[in-house]
């Protein structure tokens, strides 16, 4: 690992740590890493942190983000009993709801963008 990557990882971890520290003080249950993301975005915006300090490490992590979810998914085997009993409503609810959310989010964004465009134009 070259020095740039390691420094970038150190910054990402430092912002995560700051996020974990701030998160319990907030009135909503927002996870520390999400707070850390907002803090890093603010620091980039204020130019306290330069983009090139974190870009390399961020690109490496983001290009392999799927890998980090795999262990969470393997966790299903600890709940086979419940899944065997109720797999049908669970799978159906996830499929139906995912398609519904994709449509609701995408078309609402389009509709509001178009309305605003018309008002402007």
Partner 1 sequence: MAELARTPLFGVALTIVVYVLAEALYARLRAPLAHPVPVSIVTIIVTLLLLAVPYDAYAAGGKLLLFLLGPSVVALAVPLYVQRARLAERALPITAGILAGAVTSIVTATLTAKGLGASHEVVLSLAPKSVTTPIAIGLSERIGGIPPLTACAVVLTGCIGAALGPELCRWMGLRDPVATGLAVGTACHGIGTARMLEVDALGGAVAGLAIGLNGLATSVILPLVLRWVG
Query: Could you say which residues in the range 43-102 bind partner 1, by CB under 8 A?
Result: 44-45, 51, 54-55, 57-59, 61-63, 65-79, 82-83, 86, 88-102
CA distance 20 to 31: 7
7 alpha-carbon distance from chain centroid: 22
Note whether 116 binds partner 1 by CB under 8 A. Answer: yes
> Shortest gap between Cβ of 114 and partner 1 (angstroms)?
9
Range 46-59 burial, b when 16+ CB lie within 10 A, else e: eeebeeeebebbbe
Query: Pattern of binders to partner 1 over 19-48, x per CB under 8 A?
Result: x--------xxxxxxx-xxx-xx--xx---
């Amino acid at each position: 690992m070259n020095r740039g990557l390691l420094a970038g990882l150190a910054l990402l971890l430092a912002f995560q740590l700051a996020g974990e520290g701030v998160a319990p003080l907030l009135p909503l249950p927002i996870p520390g890493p999400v707070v850390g993301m907002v803090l890093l975005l603010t620091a980039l915006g204020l130019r306290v942190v330069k983009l090139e300090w974190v870009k390399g490490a961020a690109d490496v992590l983001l290009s392999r983000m799927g890998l980090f979810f795999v262990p969470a998914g393997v966790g299903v085997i600890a709940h086979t009993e419940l899944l065997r009993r109720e797999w049908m409503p669970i799978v159906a609810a996830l499929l139906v709801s995912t398609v519904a959310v994709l449509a609701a989010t995408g078309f609402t964004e389009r509709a509001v963008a178009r309305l605003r465009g018309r008002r402007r134009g």
